[in-house]
Amino acid sequence: MTDNHLMWENLGMDVKTHDILCEVLPQAFGDVYLTQENRPNGMDYFNMVVGDIHGLRPAELIKLQEEEGKKVVGTFCIHVPDEVVFAAGGIATGLCSGSQFWVPGGEKVLPTATCPLIKASLGAHFDKTCPFFRICDLFVGETTCDGKKKAWEILSEDAEMYIMDIPQMKRPQDFKKWEEEIRNYITKIEEITGNKVTEESLKEAIVISNNKRKALQRLNNFRKLDNIPISGRDVLLIHQIAFYDDPTRFTEMVNKLCDELDKRKEEEVSVFEKGTKRILLTGTPLSIPNWKLHQIIENSGGAVICEEMCTGIRYCEALVDESGENIDEMVENLAERYLGHINCACFTPNKARIDDIIRLAKEYKADGVIDVNLKFCNIYDTEGYFVEKAMAEAGIPCIGIETDYTDEDAEQLKTRIGAFIEML
């Protein structure tokens, strides 16, 4: 592996502190991933990406900034349409952070009773221990939950931020408002990149993003089989990398993996023993490198077969209608997909999410559902009431769990999840 220290120094990172993260991450990855048997060869690419996650892609982004004048836009939520950035010749990258390593840094500026995802994201920025935060030319926040809304104000003291005001309902006037927000976002991105979003470029960006979604959905479809040819944790990793990688290359690599899985399907290869219980996860996102639950579930006699999460189905299932002929129609189609088809708990009411969980549990033949809540996320925690009620009515076994990024509750989770799986 190349030594990235010079690049990190040039980015103004706290290299010494960051070295501590570099020491623990390979061990964690090895424990969760490399201990698995019979992994598809197509995982090699994703292993490589994550093995040098703070080196490879950051170096590529810096090169594109320096040699081609490209702008990098960092986002924190799947409601923000990447297509706009791509259409203006920019690069979009996810910034949500999934490690406890960054949480204490976030707690220096945020209340302790804030969800770990927000604390880790701000910690990664203010501690200067994540190259992606250093590289971005603009951060784009959104008004989904209260924690994020207020965190953006703090982040904006130290970085250029643009906020998209996401409606909290899905009435016709809310779609109109979201269209307006997307139009304003186009203007902002044009200003930052110095490039115009044209009919051609937006159309092309919609196709590129849809192709990525289709590849991910092709991958997810293998998890509906009785013989599941890939583990849940591998699919989670791919979903997490989707937020960072070049979209066209990523799509190609996912499709290549799927070609291999097609062969496994024919040969009825499964990475799980017969009788392994099929678990659907729903709830708050699992940002990289948050692999804790998948590891516990899959080491306790379960297989994760679907994530009704933003690091899962919510990210890839719905496509943007490609038939838009002009910018107005395309913006309307983007609004329809990015507001209408993402069922985040920030909406009221949010019955479509409950319907999705029931539908997905059937499609993926789930034996049980685990409703996951990141500690201090009020909206998903509260919605857990409806999730548990609906699962009981539908006769689908379900438990709710709350966790954070530490390993302190690992033993307790193993006991609870183990008992749940045994009962299925």
Please, what is the minimum distance in Å from the beta carbon of residue 98 to ligand BJ8?
A: 11
Q: What is the C-alpha to C-alpha distance for residues 350 and 193, in angstroms, rounded to an integer?
A: 36
Q: What is the C-alpha to C-alpha distance for residues 284 and 37, in angstroms, rounded to an integer?
A: 28
Order across the sheet with 368-374: list the strands.
302-308, 277-283, 368-374, 398-403
| CB 95 within 8 Å of CB 73 | no
Please, what is the minimum distance in Å from the beta carbon of residue 135 to ligand BJ8?
A: 21
Please, what is the minimum distance in Å from the beta carbon of residue 281 to ligand BJ8?
A: 13
| CB 202 within 8 Å of CB 329 | no
Tell me the torsion sign for CA atoms 250, 255, 258, 259.
Answer: negative
Please, what is the minimum distance in Å from the beta carbon of residue 420 to ligand BJ8?
A: 22
Helix (H) or strand (E) holding 271: none
Reading the block at residue 306, the tokens are 């679907």
Tell me whether residue 179 or residue 404 sits nearer to ligand BJ8 (CB atom).
Answer: 404
| CB 413 within 8 Å of CB 128 | no
Tell me whether residue 91 or residue 342 sits nearer to ligand BJ8 (CB atom).
Answer: 342
Reading the block at residue 201, the tokens are 């470029």
By C-alpha distance, which of 348, 394, 395, 388 is closest to 371?
A: 388
Tell me whether residue 2 or residue 382 sits nearer to ligand BJ8 (CB atom).
Answer: 382
Please, what is the minimum distance in Å from the beta carbon of residue 309 to ligand BJ8?
A: 8
Tell me whether residue 257 or residue 342 sits nearer to ligand BJ8 (CB atom).
Answer: 342
Q: What is the C-alpha to C-alpha distance for residues 197 and 105, in angstroms, rounded to an integer?
A: 37
| CB 354 within 8 Å of CB 401 | no
Reading the block at residue 199, the tokens are 């009919």
DSSP assignment of 37-92 equals SS--TTHHHHHHHHHTTTTHHHHHHHHHHHHH---EEEES-TTS-HHHHHHTT-EE
Tell me whether residue 397 or residue 400 sits nearer to ligand BJ8 (CB atom).
Answer: 400
Please, what is the minimum distance in Å from the beta carbon of residue 263 to ligand BJ8?
A: 34
Please, what is the minimum distance in Å from the beta carbon of residue 402 to ligand BJ8?
A: 11
Tell me whether residue 252 or residue 336 sits nearer to ligand BJ8 (CB atom).
Answer: 336
Residues that bind ligand BJ8 (CB under 6 A): 77-79, 115, 117-118, 144-145, 147-148, 284-285, 310, 342, 344, 346, 374, 377, 379-380
* Type of residue numbered 362: K
Exposed e or buried b per residue across 338-371, where buried means at least 16 C-beta atoms within 10 angstroms of its C-beta: bbeebbbbbbeebeebbebbbebbebbebbbbbb
Tell me whether residue 93 or residue 284 sits nearer to ligand BJ8 (CB atom).
Answer: 284
Please, what is the minimum distance in Å from the beta carbon of residue 122 to ligand BJ8?
A: 11
Reading the block at residue 87, the tokens are 């259409």
Strand, coil or helix: what is 189?
helix
Please, what is the minimum distance in Å from the beta carbon of residue 141 to ligand BJ8?
A: 10
Tell me whether residue 38 or residue 348 sits nearer to ligand BJ8 (CB atom).
Answer: 348
Tell me whether residue 244 or residue 380 sits nearer to ligand BJ8 (CB atom).
Answer: 380
Please, what is the minimum distance in Å from the beta carbon of residue 3 to ligand BJ8?
A: 34
Tell me whether residue 261 or residue 344 sits nearer to ligand BJ8 (CB atom).
Answer: 344
